[in-house]
């Protein structure tokens, strides 16, 4: 019989909100994304999506920027994690600042320490399992001298180019490793080890991105499964 406010709109926030909705009176999700659709959930009659929180009063009332107010019993923060690598001693060659680990060539290799040091699974808001597998293969090929990395200067120039493009687009540093759901990065990664992304896999990834943009986190898998539930794909 409690009213819960969940701050965040990522996959974990959505999953947690669905679980809570089954045992609570109301669930109100808050997102800072300018693209958020303020609406009631299609799947739960007691769950709503709102914009950012405007203010919280001392008596527990929460007012969202969309004008809605509610008396919350619980406020649950699902706002992600800060990157913290206290074990990493690189004399400043690799730094962590505002969720950016850098400099990293293709989000994997620090140019001054490559290929001896590499990072796996850093990219966000993308396809973590496929990306992790592709990165691991690339790292293995590099360490076994089957493929070569560009020079240190070339890698640094590539990274600086990426940072400059982000700044020109007005993107904050904490979005450095947010790759999105287009297959470009995966195709490039596969090509480094002599692999080619099959057309059906590429089509599946692009359609999944379409479903995400069309139905959002709350309904993209239902839309996706309507087309692919009878088909199976392997990497």
76 bridge partner residues: 6
Residue 227 has pLDDT above 80, yes or no: no
Q: Crossing angle of helices 199-215/220-228, nearest 10°? A: 140
Instruction: Please tell me the predicted confidence (pLDDT) of residue 217.
Output: 66
Does 170 score more than 80 pLDDT? Answer: yes
Write down the pLDDT at residue 231: 58
Nearest-angstrom CA–CA distance, 198 and 224: 19
If you classify domain 3-77 with CATH, what class do you get? alpha beta
The first and second tokens of residue 8, run together, are 């965040």
Residue 233 has pLDDT above 70, yes or no: no
Owner of token pair 């470009």: 184
Cβ proximity of 220 and 214 under 8 Å? yes
**β strands within 81-223, DSSP E:** 95-97, 100-102
How many whole angstroms separate alpha carbon 11 and alpha carbon 128? Answer: 12
> Which residue from 70, 57, 96, 69 is spatially nearest to 3, judged by alpha carbons?
70
Predicted confidence band of residue 126 (pLDDT cuts 50, 70, 90):
confident
* pLDDT over threshold 50, residue 234: no
Return d(Cα 142, Cα 146) in angstroms, integer: 6
**pLDDT at residue 197 is higher than 80:** no
At residue 9, the pLDDT reads: 83
More confident residue, 106 or 205: 106
Looking at the predicted structure, is the pLDDT value of residue 51 above 60? yes
Domain borders along the chain are: 3-77, 95-197
Q: Rounded to whole angstroms, how far apart are CA atoms 46 and 148?
A: 55
SS3 content of the chain, % helix, strand, coil (to 5): 35, 15, 50
Ramachandran region of residue 14, left (φ > 0), alpha (ψ -120 to 50) or beta? alpha
CB 186 within 8 A of CB 130: yes
User: 165 in helix, strand or coil?
Assistant: helix
pLDDT tens digits for range 148-165: 999 999 999 999 999 999
Question: For the chain, what percent of residues have pLDDT higher than 90?
Answer: 56
Mean pLDDT of the chain: 88
Rounded to two decimals, what is the model's pTM? 0.76
| Distance of alpha carbon 192 from alpha carbon 79, whole angstroms | 34
């Amino acid at each position: 019989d409690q009213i819960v406010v969940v701050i965040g709109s990522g996959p974990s926030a959505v999953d947690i909100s669905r679980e809570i909705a089954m045992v609570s009176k109301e669930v109100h999700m808050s997102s800072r994304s300018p693209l958020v659709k303020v609406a009631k959930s299609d799947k739960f009659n007691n769950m709503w999506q709102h914009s950012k929180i405007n203010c919280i009063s001392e008596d527990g009332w929460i007012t969202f920027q969309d004008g809605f107010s509610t008396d919350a019993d619980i406020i649950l923060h699902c706002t992600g994690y800060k990157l913290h690598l206290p074990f990493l001693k690189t004399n400043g060659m690799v730094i962590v600042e505002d969720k950016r680990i850098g400099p990293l060539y293709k989000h994997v290799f620090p140019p001054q320490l490559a290929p001896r040091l590499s990072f796996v699974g850093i990219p966000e808001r993308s396809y973590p399992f496929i990306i992790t597998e592709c990165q691991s293969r690339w790292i293995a090929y590099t360490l076994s001298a089957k493929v070569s990395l560009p020079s240190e200067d070339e890698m640094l120039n590539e990274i600086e180019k990426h940072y400059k493009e982000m700044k020109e687009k007005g993107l904050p540093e904490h979005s450095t490793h947010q790759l999105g759901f287009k297959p470009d990065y995966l195709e490039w990664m596969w090509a480094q080890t002599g692999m080619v992304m099959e057309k059906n896999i590429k089509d599946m990834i692009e359609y999944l991105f379409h479903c995400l943009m069309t139905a959002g986190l709350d309904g993209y898998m239902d839309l996706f499964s309507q087309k692919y539930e009878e088909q199976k794909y392997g990497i």
